[in-house]
Amino acid sequence: MKSSIQAQLLAAVCAVAPLAAFAKTPEEVSKEYDNYPVRYCADTESAEARQTLIAELWEHDPAAETKLWPEGKIPLKANDNPIKFLEYGLWSRNLTVTDVNDPFFTFFPAKGEGPKPVAVILPGGGYRSLGWNKEGTEIAEWLNSLGFSAAVLLYRAPDQRDAALCDIQRTIGILRRDASKYAIDPGRVGVIGFSAGANLAIRVSTNWRTRLYARVDDADDYSCRPDFQLPIYPWDIRTRKDPSTPQKGWTGLDLRPEYPVDAETPPAFIAQSLDDFCEAETAVAYDQRLRRAGVSSTMRIYLDGGHGYGLRRLGHATDTWPYEAASWLAPFARP
């Protein structure tokens, strides 16, 4: 059975006319966008093409979705707006969503017998939107190949940072409570985040002793401390030049008070590039603070790659981070 969202998308696709004859090839799209790899390029010239692509990229099993909050018990709820699909990244086969007000995770189980480690995937988007494919489902497929189950969390957005923290705290509790249902090891539950998702991964890794919300049920009796963390191109954890906004940049290597690292912060793998607008100093600052607290931290700084690449091989130094991360994750794959 398809979810109501999927049914709406399917209806929209069925209602449109056949694609126009002037549809662009992936090769043509690639040339328009500085030779972005052809395998990730798609035609978005017409509304029909965009609707078809949205339906394709969003396709997943609705039975794999788990809503985080019982009806009427969503803390810090902003509104009831339905989830919205954005079109600006579709040319690169990346579907972004916003207006997430009833958050949920989609579970992708690893193959094989016995309980598996699991990583909660936190897509980025500046807390304004979430990258469903490039920093979500593509990451889940990679983790599955390493023997990890994965849960892609669509946390609340836009501009709901505290609500997003509630969502990841709740998600980890649900996974631990329902470990037998998901065939996972409750002692090997980690987080991997990208950009703003990396910010959220760091925040839950340093704010797990107390929930930000009142207890809802027995899932909240389980620890929400991740067992491991992978902040990939992290964003906005250092002291800001303008305290009111990250838009004017950061200064120094001090973390802001909302990221209180201590000796029980989980071990980390951190990756960033020198040409990232979020600044390589962000990774350095977090790695330095972890090490001072006696926490195991592996940091990789790459010559180039920019920001927002996910797992995609784009011909930059950052192409190697998944291999190094896989080696770092290997001990967690073993019971």
Amino acid identity at 229: Q
**Which burial class, exposed, middle or buried, applies to 240 when counting CB atoms under 10 A from its CB (0-12, 13-18, 19+)?**
middle
What integer is the mean pLDDT of 110-122? 96
* pLDDT at residue 32 is higher than 90: no
Decide if 146 contacts 326 (C-beta within 8 A).
Answer: yes
Q: For residue 6, what pLDDT is reported?
A: 57
pLDDT digits over 157-206, tens only? 999 999 999 999 999 999 999 999 999 999 999 999 999 999 999 999 99
Enumerate the H helices of 22-89 as residue ranges.
26-32, 47-58
In the predicted model, what is the mean pLDDT of the chain?
92
Question: Which among 8, 196, 182 has a CA at the least distance from the CA of 84?
Answer: 8
* pLDDT at residue 311 is higher than 50: yes
Q: For residue 121, what pLDDT is reported?
A: 98
Q: For residue 28, what pLDDT is reported?
A: 83
Q: For residue 298, what pLDDT is reported?
A: 98
* pLDDT at residue 18 is higher than 50: no
| pLDDT bucket at 65, cuts 50 / 70 / 90 | very high
Q: Provide CATH 3.40.50.1820 ranges for the chain.
A: 65-333
Cis peptide before 158 (omega within 30 of 0): yes
The C-alpha atoms of residue 334 and residue 148 are separated, in whole angstroms, by 10
DSSP string covering 140-193, please?
A: HHHHHHTT-EEEEEE--BSS-HHHHHHHHHHHHHHHHHTHHHHTEEEEEEEEEE
Of residues 131 and 26, the one with the higher pLDDT is: 131
Q: What does pTM read for this prediction?
A: 0.92
Q: Which fold has domain 65-333?
A: Rossmann fold (3.40.50)
What integer is the mean pLDDT of 293-309? 96
pLDDT digits over 251-274, tens only? 889 999 999 999 999 999 999 999
- The conformation of residue 38, written as its DSSP 8-state character, comes to G
Percent helix / strand / coil, the chain, rounded to 5? 35, 20, 40
What integer is the mean pLDDT of 104-132? 97
